[in-house]
Structure 1
Amino acid sequence: MLRAYRMVEGQNERLEGAVAADALMSAAWIDLFSPTPQELAQVQDAFGLELPTREEMRAIELSSRVYREAGGVFLTATVLCRADAPVPETMDVTFVLTGRTLITLRFDDPKPFYGFHNQVQKQGIRLESGLVAFVQLLEAILDRIADVLEGTARDLNTVAQHLLLQGDERARLSSELQADLLRRIARGHDVTAKARESLVTLARVLAFVAALKEVVSDKGLRGRLKTMLQDSQSLSDYTAFLSSNISFQLDALLGLVGIEQNNIVKIFSVAAVVFLPPTLVASIYGMNFHHMPELDWTFGYPLALVLMVLSAVVPYLWFKRRGWL
């Protein structure tokens, strides 16, 4: 899909479908979302540049993600995607700054892009140039990451409340609750790790753009980029805090599960010790010896029962006194 916008008499005009080369050259933003080979060729021929392939966008070395060629500046960042889904994902987006046009190449539709299209079409955001569109789009991406991290922090606070209420007999961890808490912690870790990965690549892109002469000469853009760099750094620090919090909560949950398992094992161990003496008494009197004087006693059977009861009660009282139960 190819969608483009250009300024006409102070208003954004949307271009889509088969757009002439001169119209594309006048666009402030061209968004290529899972483009067809024809759409890719249309943009590449109009601007005289070669867009990276999907495999090239996945490269992690700096020289493959941030570079300048004759046709423009190529910037590839990892963006958090489907953060509300059970399994969050990331996607690679390439930003190309060429002349006064911003070209974005992507193969998924994260919320920042979807929302930015709506703002451009319905809220009248002015796309005066590709550089301005780039700054506005990155602001939307950072805002989305901040919202996702805030939601993750709220979910982790809920996990912490469950863990802190374990002194209350009414708040015991059931097996279902344990599994749910583990899923929440695992998802929080996944979201935080992917958000941090995205922030690292965005900071790299912002630092590169901030050094461009077009930005250095524009005080307003320079200030906005500096603010976004500070925001990305503060969000990265926040992800580090969330990561340490997640590690603590995971250790606490596993510790509580271990304590519960130890209590169960202790009960079985004490039960085995309590019933071991009666079994010993019963085994003695169950032996087939010919000469056993207690067999001729009138109260031999009641005596054996009393011995079995005492051998069970005495260890129990001893364990209770020692605080083992």
Structure 2
Amino acid sequence: MITILKEKKENGYEWIDITNPVKEELTEVSAKYDLHKALVEDSLQPEHLPKFEMVADTQFIILRVYSSAAKKEADTIQEVTDKIAVFFGANFLITIHRREYPFLEEIKNRYVDTGKCATPFQLLFRIIHAAITSYNTPIAELAKELDFFEPKIFLQEKTPSLLKNLYYIKRKASVMDFIFDLTRSILENLKGKIASTHFNQLKDEILRLQTNTKHVVDNVANLLNIYISLSSQRTNEVVRVLTVFSVFFMPLTFIVGIYGMNFDVMPELRWSYGYLYVITFMVFVTFLIYLWFKKKGWL
């Protein structure tokens, strides 16, 4: 669906927004603005990574924003992020995307309609800034999840799927960090085209978010190492206790192995309920060992 968010007569440039594009719409727009066919095809590929290209007087960038539909188990670029393509020139800017982005309407109301975006490059800055800051809340949530799992590891609390959850946190943070790297490359190509204050603001924003994502990745790696160390320590403790038990019973087993139980006088053999008593005693001992292991947290 093609929507004209700003007409050219206002401040000298036009902003066209295309949501869930079809080929016929793009053909019409590309003919009007002389858009390169290869770039138009790139704008239709949902899995395309962020990039910058320039053909003649038309510039083209692909951004990836955090997806509102991203699930907790999302761990790929396509699952974590959505694509938005932007064509822009001296007197026009075209945004192409499949999902509705509330921040585009907010930019229109706060900056375009009020005359604060006098050029396509000022509008481009607002779009890039909104795309970058869409990761603020997700990164904060990842850090919050880590704070939840950290004491459970140190206190050795049994939490279902602990390693699985840590894996997805690390994967999601790594995906975001990769997207930030590609977005920084786009900014380098835009240097000199947007105001230096805006350029520095975007770089600082990406640097801050990358620092946070790397912090999450490093913390997950540290927690995994701690988890493995504690698990090894716990296993060693179990082995030590079982070894002590084995040492106690080894000579008894050795003596029984040599002499057996071949004695003429064994009163228990003549007990009417001797067999039942022994079986009951064996079950009781097994149950006690089970309770002890459970209390120790070995089971």
Same fold (TM > 0.5): yes
2:96 to 96, 100, 105: 105
Contact 1:156 1:246 (8 Å CA) reproduced: yes
The answer for the alignment partner of 1:318 in structure 2 is none
- Alpha-carbon distance between aligned partners in 2 of 1:9 and 1:101, rounded to the nearest angstrom: 11
- 1:35 to 1:59, Cα distance in 2 relative to 1, 3 A: closer
Q: CA deviation at 1:27?
A: 2.7
The answer for the alignment partner of 1:149 in structure 2 is 139
- Alpha-carbon distance between aligned partners in 1 of 2:20 and 2:57, rounded to the nearest angstrom: 22
- Alpha-carbon distance between aligned partners in 2 of 1:8 and 1:59, rounded to the nearest angstrom: 30
| Counterpart secondary structure, 1:147 | helix
Q: CA deviation at 1:123?
A: 5.7
2:28 to 42, 58, 74: 42
- Alpha-carbon distance between aligned partners in 2 of 1:245 and 1:98, rounded to the nearest angstrom: 43
Say yes or no: does 1:130 pair with 2:114: no
2:229 to 252, 255, 266: 255
1:190 to 171, 193, 203: 171
Identical pairs, percent: 17
Counterparts of 1:301-316 in structure 2, within 5 Å, are none
Contact 1:80 1:194 (8 Å CA) reproduced: no
Contact 2:48 2:83 (8 Å CA) reproduced: no
Contact 2:104 2:127 (8 Å CA) reproduced: no
| Counterpart secondary structure, 2:71 | coil
| Counterpart secondary structure, 1:35 | coil
- Alpha-carbon distance between aligned partners in 1 of 2:59 and 2:109, rounded to the nearest angstrom: 29
**TM-score for both structures, normalised by structure 2:** 0.72
Q: CA RMSD in A?
A: 3.4
Contact 1:79 1:141 (8 Å CA) reproduced: yes
Contact 1:75 1:95 (8 Å CA) reproduced: yes
* The 10-residue stretch of structure 1 (81-90 or 97-106) with the greater mean CA deviation from structure 2: 81-90
Corresponding pairs, count: 257
Structure 2 letter corresponding to 1:152: L
Contact 1:78 1:92 (8 Å CA) reproduced: yes
Contact 2:26 2:40 (8 Å CA) reproduced: no
Contact 1:83 1:148 (8 Å CA) reproduced: no
Q: CA deviation at 1:266?
A: 3.5
Contact 1:31 1:104 (8 Å CA) reproduced: yes
- 1:117 to 1:102, Cα distance in 2 relative to 1, 3 A: same
Q: CA deviation at 1:226?
A: 1.5
Contact 2:150 2:223 (8 Å CA) reproduced: yes
Contact 2:5 2:108 (8 Å CA) reproduced: no
Q: CA deviation at 1:76?
A: 2.4
- Alpha-carbon distance between aligned partners in 2 of 1:146 and 1:225, rounded to the nearest angstrom: 19
Structure 2 letter corresponding to 1:116: F
Q: CA deviation at 1:149?
A: 1.5
The answer for the alignment partner of 1:52 in structure 2 is 40
Q: CA deviation at 1:136?
A: 1.1
Contact 2:30 2:40 (8 Å CA) reproduced: no
Contact 1:101 1:131 (8 Å CA) reproduced: no
**TM-score for both structures, normalised by structure 1:** 0.67
- Alpha-carbon distance between aligned partners in 1 of 2:14 and 2:229, rounded to the nearest angstrom: 59
Higher relative contact order (CA 8 A, sep 6+): 2
Say yes or no: does 1:246 pair with 2:220: yes
Contact 1:2 1:39 (8 Å CA) reproduced: yes
Counterparts of 1:267-278 in structure 2, within 5 Å, are 267-278=241-252
Q: CA deviation at 1:253?
A: 1.5
Contact 2:63 2:83 (8 Å CA) reproduced: yes
- Alpha-carbon distance between aligned partners in 2 of 1:105 and 1:7, rounded to the nearest angstrom: 17
| Counterpart secondary structure, 1:46 | helix
- Alpha-carbon distance between aligned partners in 2 of 1:269 and 1:99, rounded to the nearest angstrom: 79
- 1:124 to 1:153, Cα distance in 2 relative to 1, 3 A: same
Q: CA deviation at 1:248?
A: 0.5
Structure 2 letter corresponding to 1:189: K
2:185 to 204, 215, 225: 204
